[in-house]
Structure formats: C-alpha cells, structure tokens
A and B are shown apart, each in its own frame.
Chain A
C-alpha cells in the first residue's frame, strides 16, 4: 500500500516535470538546457515509478509491513526531508560550481555540501537499525556486510585494472559511485537474505 503510494508520488512528479519541460519548450521558449533539465528530472522519476512495478509482489508486501512498524515509520519520516534536501543541495552545489568559484576553500565547502544530507541519512539508518527486531537487524547488517565485501573486491579489481592502464575511469566518478553501488548491492543482498530468512 505504502509502496504503491511511493510509486504514484514518483509518477506524479515525473508527469509534472514533463509538463513543465513541454510548457517551457513550446510556450515560454526556455533555453534548451533548462528544458533538458526538467525532461531529465521527469525521465528519472518515471524510471523510479517503473522500478516499483518491476519488484516482485512478495517483496512489496514485505516492505509495506516493515514501513508499517513504528521504527519504519520514523525512518520514512526522517528520510523524505533528507532526500529532498539532498536533491536541492546537489542542484545548488553543481550549479554554483559550474558558474565558477575562485576561492578554493569556498569551492571545497560548496562541493561537500551534498554529502551532509547523506550523513543525516546514515544517522537515521543507524537509528532504524537499532530499533528493529533481532531477525530484521540480522538481515540488514548481513546484507550491508555482503555489499561491503563485494564492492571492496570490485573496486580493488577496478583499481588494479586502472593502475595497469587497461581501463580509464575518472577518479571523481569512481569515488562518487561507491555509495550508490553499495546501496544497490545492499538492496539486492537484502532481497536474497529476506527470502531465505523469512
């Protein structure tokens, strides 16, 4: 039920962004990059909504159950503002750095800004971890452990290939992707573990 609501929120945001892009393109003659930005936002949210459709039903009902618990509700309530804050700070940070900041310390502060909401997110996640029951905690921590080990090996292998000049990935991209990849592998590991334990 809750998952269904998330899906609709994503779908509505996607439609809104597409509508803005269309209005900007055909009625208000916005510059191409602004139209592109809104279209991109719409596409991202549409993909998000579609992902909810792809997940198996047992997983969806399991998530609904988890989020119905007090700990899950608290986690969700903490997460929404944090994720919106993350999106906004990321936007502001990229925009102002693209405009160019001369002073290096100031640029450093502005660049690190989007990492702050992630600190809050992790704090909320750790609190959630402490509030759930034993079995759930076991699933969560084991999934994080598996994700951590897999990703460490993946990055180690990638680093060796990079050092041997077989691949050439920019350092900044490689570093930023640690966290999203970790979340992805964690999610998959959690699905497998939950299937086994529950």
Chain B
C-alpha cells in the first residue's frame, strides 16, 4: 500500500506522550537548586567578597599556569613510559615481563601522596648522584638538591605513578584488537614494529583514548597533592598560602575549585574531538545521521556481517 494510493488517509493527529511525573520532579529539583543558590549567595561563610577579590589574582593565575604545566609534563612522560611498560608486559622475554610487572606492582601498590613524600625526601636518601661505572670512581658527582628542582621532583613523582596506570590502559587497548590482525600482518611479512605502528596501535587507540582522557582530567586534580613534596606553587598550594594570611579558607577553596573546573571543561571538549577523530570509519551509517562515507558500510573491521540491512532504495519493494 503506497502513500500515494487512491484512498487519501486522514493525517494522524499525534499528541506527544505526556509525562506529568517528569514535570513535577523537574520543578522540585529546580526549586531545590534555586533555594541552594539563593541561600549560598547570602551566606557569610562562603566569603563571596574574598572570592571575587582573589579569583583573578596574579598569584592564582600564575599558579593555575604551573598546575597546567605539571599536568602536561607529567602526562606526556607517563604516556610514553606507559606504552613502553605495556609493550614490555606483552613481550615474550620473561625478564622484561617480570621487570614491568614489578614496576606496576610497586607504583600501583602505594598511594600517590606517600610516593610524593618519598620524592620530597630523595635528596636525604641520595645526597649525591654519581655517574660512572659501579664500584669504581665516578666520572661525575652531582648534588641531588642542586640538580633536581622541586618542580621536576613533582613531575617525576606524578608521572612515574601515572605511568603504571597508563600501562594497563595501553595493554587493554592492544589486547582489544582482534588477534587475526596480527596474524594477517605477520602473514604479509610485516616486522613487529611495522605491525605495531601501522596495524595494531591505530586500532587500539579507540579503546585507549577515552580512559586516557579520563586520566589527564584526573591528573589535573592529582597535582594538588604536590603539597607533600612540598611544592606550593600549584593552584591549591597558592590558594592555601593566601588563606593562611587572611584566615579565611573557604573563599580561596572556591577560587581554586573554579579554576580546576575551568581547565577540566576545556579538557573534556578536547577529549570529545580526539575521540571523534579516532572513531572515523567505524560504526554503522544510519539514514538519520549525516556525513557517512563509503567506509561506513563496513561496520566492523573483523569482517563480521552486519545484522541490519540498510535499505537505501527509494520506493517500496515490489
């Protein structure tokens, strides 16, 4: 029965299904939110005048920049080290595998805060760094204190801890790629490095990116723990320093939180774009979604047949 048949059907008067419960719930929630906001704006304890005074303070924005730098450096080192460790764990060599396992065990088995306290005491444990052949006279003796700045201690502490978690994320990504891919690459004569670089890793990225984005966002907040070293020029540390002198901690905590929220929002948008890029060419095209290209008709790379036939033909089946 085609729509252009002889019998003209009356247009159906379609009324959307009403959800009165939703409306009531929404009103209650919005009411509670409004109540909270109005009360908070009048509450003295929040110290909104101090909040407004310090939110764009030079020291705070400088500290925010330091926090960003800590995050960026730590994550870069952690990702590189994490990939190395993941590959080590997947290796055939038992020694290499064991070393990687030991690293993961130690750095995941102790709290970040405790690790950072250790790094703060590193120059007490290792007063000098001697470069040379073991058990002979060293070629160079460096004073640990002079060589490693507190900022870099923070970066080292954070990145070594994060690398352990990144290693597991990367390993999950690599394991998620169908083993047939590796077999096919080997059959084609690709070396291990070529297989990894051109076949496995690009496919593994789809699984690696979302948790990695998560870790970057999480690292931004974990940098507040560097007060353990102590490195006090990050956002939380500087906000504390200001609140110590004015004896008003709450507005400064709100200032630090606002900045963390701002950076997290930017990172979340960045993650969205990154995920979009690595999901190209995957997934089924739907008539109601725009922008499919030819590869969309091949849903899964393993070659499994899609269960839904996409009907692109006009008119009815005859």
Q: Do A and B come from one complex?
A: no
Binding site for A on B (CB under 8 A): none
